Amino acid sequence: MTKTGSAAAVAGANFALVKYWGKRDDRLNLPAAGSISITVDSLTTRTSVTFKDTKERDSLLMNGKAVSGKMLDKVSGFLNLVRNRAGIRQPASVETVNSFPTGAGLASSASGFAALALAASNAAGLNLSRHELSVLARQGSGSAARSVFGGFVEMNRGSRDDGEDAAATELAAAAHWPLTVTVAVTDLNPKDTGSRDGMALSRETSPFYPNWVAGADADLAECRKAVLNRDFGKLADVSEFNCLKMHGVAMSSRPGLIYWNDTTVRLIHEARRMRNDGIPVFFTVDAGPQVKFISLPEAALTVKTRLDGMPGIKELFSCSLGEGVCEAKGGAG
Ligand code: DP6
């Protein structure tokens, strides 16, 4: 059967408040525990996929540059999932553009694989449900399963061996509680150890890893409740606790993973100082040195003003909560 087609999609990055750091199955990319995140509106990936009737291989153009090697292999492997499901064999040309630095801990794989899942499945003529898209996106990147949805999103660990129940669901829409995220970029270079390798190392070597996994359900319950009750103090408390625990696990791996630089540490202290000054803001940090300040919208300008001009900050982005992955018109650009 031959089917060719073209489709484009756009997805927002997401930042986890209760983090995913460890897998229960590497092949199907199943998380060891659930996670909760917020999807943002202005850090996006836009991807177009065209399946072509040629004998060429898959091609990938990322931010205008042709990409080969490991990254292309990963995308081809992901496209195979879509091709197998649709019963097609054509190679695809994929074009993807990020509105933010790639691979520096700003969740480019989350928005990237969520956009790719929708664009590729539509281009292949599949009409997947949100649940099916989330299961598919997860196989590209665990956090991508969450960018399928907007607002506050919970990733379910699932218990099935085939991973069909390891998908995200919407916890609350963006309009439920319009938080603001101010992202302080402290290093524009890609990190040394990506999340995938980092979490595998933690599982194998950190003495804290079993406790980290065992504590996830309690953190998830607290976070869920704080979101549903719009309780900022409780959300700040559980999110910072969970973030520092994740970095504790990373740092106690062997060799230890230190994702922070000196500016990261200064910014963490600054977030705490702001909160002590009565500003409703808290921090979170993923597998990289960037710091995300999450605040109530009325405090966003104050947060930005406090951060503006601080040494070591390379870029500041402000985002609101956004929608899940959606179709886009035209090409990737
Ligand atoms: C620290 O989703 O990038 O951002 O599933 O191996 O692709 P893979 O990992 P990835 O890990 C994200 C880790 C994190 C925390 C989080 O987003 O929950």
Ligand 1 contacts CB of residue 109 (under 6 A): yes
**Residue 314 CA to chain centroid, in angstroms?**
21
- Residue 199 CA, closest ligand 1 atom number: 6
Q: Tell me, which fold does domain 1-333 have in CATH?
A: Ribosomal Protein S5; domain 2 (3.30.230)
For the stretch 196-208, pLDDT in tens is 999 999 999 999 9
- Which pLDDT band holds residue 333 (cuts at 50, 70, 90)? very low
Residues contacting residue 331 through CB under 8 Å, at least 6 positions apart = 8, 48, 95
**Ligand 1 centroid distance, CA of 3 (Å):** 33
> 155 near 162, Cβ under 8 Å?
no
**Ligand 1 centroid distance, CA of 257 (Å):** 15
**Ligand 1 centroid distance, CA of 261 (Å):** 19
**Ligand 1 centroid distance, CA of 122 (Å):** 25
Long-range CB contacts (within 8 A, 24+) of 232-237: 232/280, 232/296, 235/17, 235/282, 235/294, 236/275, 236/280, 236/281, 236/282, 236/294
- Where is pLDDT greater, at 78 or 317? 78
User: Which pLDDT score is estimated for 54?
Assistant: 86
- Which residue, 272, 172, 239, 210, is CA-closest to 16? 239
Ligand 1 contacts CB of residue 245 (under 6 A): no
User: Which pLDDT score is estimated for 80?
Assistant: 98
- Where is pLDDT greater, at 200 or 100? 200
Ligand 1 contacts CB of residue 20 (under 6 A): yes
> 222 near 234, Cβ under 8 Å?
yes
When the pLDDT of each residue in the chain is averaged and rounded to a whole number, the result is 95
> 294 near 254, Cβ under 8 Å?
no
C-alpha dist (Å) from residue 305 to 120, 214, 274, 299, 328: 41, 39, 11, 10, 34
Per-residue DSSP letters for 48-81? EEEE-SSSPPPEEEETTEEE-THHHHHHHHHHHH
- Residue 141 CA, closest ligand 1 atom number: 7
Ligand 1 contacts CB of residue 142 (under 6 A): yes
For the stretch 229-238, pLDDT in tens is 999 999 999 9
**Ligand 1 centroid distance, CA of 83 (Å):** 25
Which residue has the least CA distance to atom 4 on ligand 1? Answer: 286
Give the containing element (helix H, strand E) for 316: strand 315-320
Instruction: Please count the residues of the chain.
Output: 333
- Which pLDDT band holds residue 2 (cuts at 50, 70, 90)? very low
> 13 near 99, Cβ under 8 Å?
no
User: Which pLDDT score is estimated for 164?
Assistant: 97
For the stretch 142-165, pLDDT in tens is 999 999 999 999 999 999 999 999
User: Which pLDDT score is estimated for 102?
Assistant: 61
Ligand 1 contacts CB of residue 16 (under 6 A): yes
**Ligand 1 centroid distance, CA of 193 (Å):** 12
- Residue 35 CA, closest ligand 1 atom number: 18
Hey, which of 195, 201, 213, 257 would you mutate to test ligand 1's pocket, going by the most ligand atoms within 8 Å of its Cβ?
195
**Ligand 1 centroid distance, CA of 196 (Å):** 7
- Residue 142 CA, closest ligand 1 atom number: 5
For the stretch 122-136, pLDDT in tens is 999 999 999 999 999
- How is residue 267 written in tokens? 């910014």
Burial of residue 139 (CB within 10 Å: 0-12, 13-18, 19+) is: buried
**Residue 265 CA to chain centroid, in angstroms?**
22
For the stretch 3-52, pLDDT in tens is 469 999 999 999 999 999 999 999 999 999 999 999 999 999 999 999 99
Query: Which residue in the block uniquely carries the two structure tokens 């649940």?
Result: 131
Ligand 1 contacts CB of residue 141 (under 6 A): yes
**Ligand 1 centroid distance, CA of 16 (Å):** 9
CA distance 331 to 333: 6
Ligand 1 contacts CB of residue 284 (under 6 A): no
**Ligand 1 centroid distance, CA of 287 (Å):** 8
Domain boundaries, the chain: 1-333
**Ligand 1 centroid distance, CA of 303 (Å):** 26
> 104 near 166, Cβ under 8 Å?
no
